[in-house]
């Protein structure tokens, strides 16, 4: 190996191996950065390539995201980001603050918001990823209908722009948790709604989707409807 004047080895062009697929790798990286718009591009880039190296889901949004009417805060936490987290963490039955914090910091989200979500949910030690997701979605949703639409968009397996279908059992879990946290829907209305969604899901291969929320035969959501 050649040696420089200061006795430190240096490499010649023949010794530096550039992967043949490097242009494609960088092209995908550039597109991912444009879609995700990370605040800290250096920190995000590190997380991106570490995830690829480890065969993990990288912190990449499916599309460029603009603020939605269903979002009540501008904290930086969005449906697209929660969808990233769900892809990365849904395989975990339980998670810890450290696991979430690592993903959180990769996207330069405010630590104060994470602290608030964990405090509101009383999430300590090992806790359910779905319970964290419940609190996070409620934090950025303006009402229970928008929270349910948001959770459908986050956990669906449908492609971007699809109907955002989720299994009834998943829908029922989030519906009940949102009802408990929101308190804006009378108990009788909630019973009618969940019975309606169960019946409708049975007619649609076990799936619920946001378009059902506004169907003409959908029961009233509140006394004001």
pLDDT in tens, the chain (225 residues): 554 555 666 666 666 677 777 777 787 878 777 777 777 888 888 888 888 888 888 887 776 665 544 444 556 889 999 999 999 999 988 999 999 999 998 888 889 999 999 999 999 999 999 999 999 999 989 899 999 999 999 999 998 889 999 999 999 999 999 999 877 788 899 999 999 999 999 999 999 999 999 999 999 987 554
178 falls within a domain: yes
Q: Is residue 95 part of a domain?
A: no
Range(s) of the domain holding residue 198:
166-225
Asked if residue 197 belongs to a domain, the reply is yes
Structure tokens at 163: 């109907």
pLDDT score of 74 = 57
Domain contains 96: no
Q: DSSP string covering 114-135, please? A: HHHHHHHTT--SSEEHHHHHHH
Q: Residue 64: its pLDDT value, please?
A: 63
185, part of any domain: yes
Q: What are the beta bridge partners of residue 128?
A: 94
Residue 87 neighbours by CB under 8 Å, 6+ apart: 57
Q: What pLDDT, on the 0 to 100 scale, is given for residue 14?
A: 64
At residue 223, the pLDDT reads: 52
* Cα atoms in the Cβ-side hemisphere of radius 13 Å centred on 36: 28
Kindly tell me the burial class for residue 61, based on how many C-beta atoms sit within 10 Å of its own C-beta (0-12, 13-18, 19 or more).
Answer: buried
What is the value of pTM for the model shown? 0.74
Q: What residues does 207 pair with on adjacent strands?
A: 167
Q: Per the domain annotation, does 218 fall within a domain?
A: yes
Q: Are 222 and 185 in contact (CB under 8 A)?
A: yes
Domain count, the chain: 1
Q: How far are the Cα atoms of 82, 145, 150, 170, 186 from residue 162, in angstroms, in the given order?
A: 18, 18, 13, 18, 31
pLDDT confidence of residue 71: 45
**83 assigned to some structural domain:** no
Residue 219 located in a structural domain: yes
């Amino acid at each position: 190996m050649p040696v420089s004047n200061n006795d430190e080895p240096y490499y010649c062009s023949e010794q530096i191996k550039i992967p043949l697929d490097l242009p494609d790798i960088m092209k995908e990286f550039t597109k991912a950065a444009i879609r995700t718009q990370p605040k800290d591009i250096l920190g995000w880039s590190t997380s991106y390539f570490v995830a690829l190296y480890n065969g993990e889901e990288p912190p990449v949004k499916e599309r460029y995201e603009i603020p939605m009417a269903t979002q009540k805060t501008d904290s930086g936490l969005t449906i697209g980001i929660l969808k990233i987290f769900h892809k990365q963490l849904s395989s975990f039955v339980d998670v810890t603050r450290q696991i979430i914090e690592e993903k959180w910091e990769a996207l330069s989200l405010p630590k104060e918001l994470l602290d608030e979500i964990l405090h509101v949910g009383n999430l300590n030690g090992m806790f359910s990823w779905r319970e964290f997701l419940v609190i996070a979605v409620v934090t950025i949703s303006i009402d229970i209908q928008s929270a349910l639409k948001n959770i459908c968009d986050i956990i669906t397996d449908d492609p971007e722009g699809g109907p955002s279908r989720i299994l009834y059992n998943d829908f029922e879990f989030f519906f009940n948790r949102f009802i408990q946290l929101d308190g804006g829907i009378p108990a009788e209305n909630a019973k009618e709604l969940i019975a309606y969604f169960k019946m409708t899901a049975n007619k649609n291969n076990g799936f619920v989707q946001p378009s059902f929320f506004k169907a003409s035969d959908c029961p009233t959501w509140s006394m004001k409807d």
